[in-house]
A and B are shown apart, each in its own frame.
Chain A
Amino acid sequence: MNLTLLLAQLLNGLQYGVLLFLLAAGLTLVFGIMSFVNLAHGSLYMVGAYAAALAYGAGGSFTLAMLTAMAAALAVGLILETTVVSRLYRRDHLDHVLATFGLVMFFNEAVRIVWGPQPLFVQVPESLVGTVDLLGFGYPLYRFAIIVAGLVVAIGSYLLIHKTRVGMLIRAGAQNPQMVAALGIPIGLLNALLFGVGAMLAGVAGAMAGPVLSVQSGMGDAVLITTLVVIVIGGIGSVTGAFYAALIVGVVDTMGRVYLPLLLRQVADRSVADAAGPALASMSVYLLMALVLALRPQGLFPAHRT
């Protein structure tokens, strides 16, 4: 067992997990508080990625690219919230699903119209090229930066939610939205704010993921579904749950893809292992979800709803 490989893959898993957390944090709050099924969250991730790629290509500054991504995702998010989403809060989940499905279709095609179907190549920003020395081996600096950035956001969101008044409102809203509205809090504003912040986080995730994953039409689709799995495992409405679940899913998926085929080769003959290995690896996260559902249908850290 190659220890360096293990550590590197573990870190890769954390990096993937951190990206998933950025996506899941905003989405789980939208699910939990507004009870709104937002399938278009992946499109906001895509918006962030493209905006950052454009800004970096134009200006060469990583900071500028980040800010552009955040602004773009926030803007698109707020527009969507005020025009479409807010009109649907009181409706069936089916209506949410249909509307956001239509939005995804539109965004994917719009991106194709402007940039074509080919992936956009985004290079790692100058300042973050190279490796960092960790425990005796070199780990890509950029990926390490993602982990750090993600953890900073996680800590920031924890402080926001548990130590500020706004955070208290959010927690109250997750438990009893009607009561919060009845207390005279401008719930419409709070909802729009929440949706916008979620969109912004998704945009940040997209911007950071650009150099590591591919930037193309439909990039938000697969990652959205994995985010949904994270939310289900963590518990709808729970940011804490989203944090732990995201890290677990990130690590399980990454390590699974590397080690499951290897493990299978030990116990089965090569042809079977080569066929079944990748299959099992790609299913690992979903099997995990099924397991959690069988044992704890409400998720690992459910937000207690009254």
Chain B
Amino acid sequence: MTDLLRPSRALLPLLFLLLACVPFAAAAAQQPFWTSFFARILIYAIAASALNLALGYGGLVSFGHALFLGVGAYAVALPAFHGIGSGWVHLLFCLAGGAAVALVIGAISLRTSGMAFIMITLAFAQMGYFLLVSLKFYGGDDGLPVAAPSRFGALDLGSAPVLYGVAWAVLLVLTWWMSRLRAAPFGMALRAARQNARRVDAMGLQSRRLQLAAFTLSGTACALAGALLANLNAFVSPSSMSWSVSGELIVMVVLGGIGTVAGPVMGALVFLGLEEGLKGVTEHWMALFGPLIVLMAMFGRRGIVGWIEALEQSRWPARAGAGRGRR
């Protein structure tokens, strides 16, 4: 069985191929809803991949990543409110804002670890939420419509197929980078720090700095997802920063396969697909979803991709490669 045909290796290219077909299928079937639905999946896959960098590779359980989604979203909505529709300005605010917020929060939160870290990231996201709710001028609790979508010259993110294409491309680049990062010195050192931070320091690196860098990169990439989300919904609100969104991102990462490359994409797909499916069954779908999450936490820790890889390893044992599949 050649390396390329192993299910775990083929999974990601296959997913991207299928996702690329969606806008065309939607046009043919005259179901524009498909494009926006899958665009949403792509965007959350970007956010989940970003979280995977901090959580999966770095072992940093951040329960406040929805904050970065909000930063990215408002980085589009606020300039738009003031009449600025240039995508470049939005992008600048998004990346700068995301990086700055992540750096500050990361620096403070990483003074602690374990339970305290989780609680503190949660608290900071809540702070961001309350801050935006109290800014009545920008809509507060009611939210703010996005007055002008991001324009990059001829590219107008206000058009669903264009947004889809951009999101697909961003996810592709991000996922490719994550797969390279895994084996690169930074990724290896970060994953080592997750396993044994004390040892990493004793070897001559500074685990705290590595983790802060990872957290900052993670927050910035997540902000990018937020900016895309603002364009998709043409609307932003503080509720996109609520802690339940942070929790949902974590569920996506774990469900897909924490620390794997394909995991976040798979996780976003399955999570949002399941949510949509359950919504069709009952309006009280959360009463079903909640227990499913509990069961996943108790029994399904490897996630879908992790499960595929374990299955594969037992049936076709490979010469152990560069930490392939494992976190």
Report the Cα distance A109→B247, complex, angstroms.
Answer: 16
- Give the contacts of B292-310 with A (CB-CB under 8 A): 292-298, 301
CB of B296 within 8 A of CB of A98, answer: yes
CB of B290 within 8 A of CB of A289, answer: no
CB of A278 within 8 A of CB of B115, answer: no
B114 close to chain A: CB less than 8 A: yes
CB of B63 within 8 A of CB of A95, answer: no
CB of B123 within 8 A of CB of A102, answer: no
- Give the contacts of B259-314 with A (CB-CB under 8 A): 284, 286-287, 289-298, 301
- Chain A residues within an 8 Å CB radius of B295: 102
- Chain A residues within an 8 Å CB radius of B290: 102-107, 109
Report the Cα distance A78→B137, complex, angstroms.
Answer: 46
Of the candidates A87, A106, A282, which one forms a contact with B130 in the assembled complex, judged by CB atoms under 8 Å apart?
Answer: A282
CB of A106 within 8 A of CB of B294, answer: yes
CB of A228 within 8 A of CB of B294, answer: no
CB of B243 within 8 A of CB of A221, answer: yes
Known: A98-B296, A99-B293, A101-B293. A37 touches B118 (CB 8 A): yes
CB of A87 within 8 A of CB of B126, answer: no
> How many of chain B's residues have a CB under 8 angstroms from any CB in A?
46
Of the candidates A101, A225, A228, which one forms a contact with B250 in the assembled complex, judged by CB atoms under 8 Å apart?
Answer: A101
Report the Cα distance A173→B286, complex, angstroms.
Answer: 36
CB of B119 within 8 A of CB of A231, answer: yes
CB of B136 within 8 A of CB of A98, answer: no
Closest approach, in angstroms, between the C-beta of B131 and any C-beta of chain A? Answer: 5
Report the Cα distance A231→B122, complex, angstroms.
Answer: 13
Report the Cα distance A95→B137, complex, angstroms.
Answer: 40
Closest approach, in angstroms, between the C-beta of B219 and any C-beta of chain A? Answer: 16
B135 close to chain A: CB less than 8 A: yes
- Chain B residues within an 8 Å CB radius of A297: 111-112, 116
B124 close to chain A: CB less than 8 A: yes
CB of A236 within 8 A of CB of B136, answer: no
Report the Cα distance A28→B289, complex, angstroms.
Answer: 28
- Chain B residues within an 8 Å CB radius of A113: 284, 287
Q: Contact residues of A with B, CB < 8 Å?
A: 31, 35, 37, 84, 87-88, 93-99, 101-110, 112-113, 221-222, 225, 228-229, 231-232, 236, 275, 278-279, 281-283, 286-287, 289-290, 293-294, 297
Question: Can you give 21 contacting A-B residue pairs, CB < 8 Å?
Answer: A37-B115, A84-B294, A94-B61, A94-B254, A97-B250, A99-B297, A101-B250, A101-B251, A106-B286, A106-B290, A112-B284, A221-B243, A221-B244, A232-B119, A275-B135, A275-B136, A278-B134, A279-B130, A283-B131, A289-B123, A297-B116
Q: Contact residues of B with A, CB < 8 Å?
A: 55, 61, 63, 108-109, 111-112, 114-116, 118-120, 122-124, 126-127, 130-131, 133-137, 243-244, 247, 250-251, 254, 258, 284, 286-287, 289-298, 301
Q: Lowest 6 CB-CB distances: which A-B pairs, in order?
A: A102-B293, A106-B290, A105-B290, A98-B297, A286-B127, A282-B130
Q: List 20 other contacts, CB 8 Å, given A286-B127, A293-B109.
A: A35-B114, A37-B115, A87-B298, A93-B61, A93-B114, A93-B115, A93-B118, A94-B254, A99-B298, A101-B293, A105-B289, A113-B287, A278-B136, A281-B134, A282-B131, A286-B123, A286-B124, A286-B126, A293-B111, A293-B112
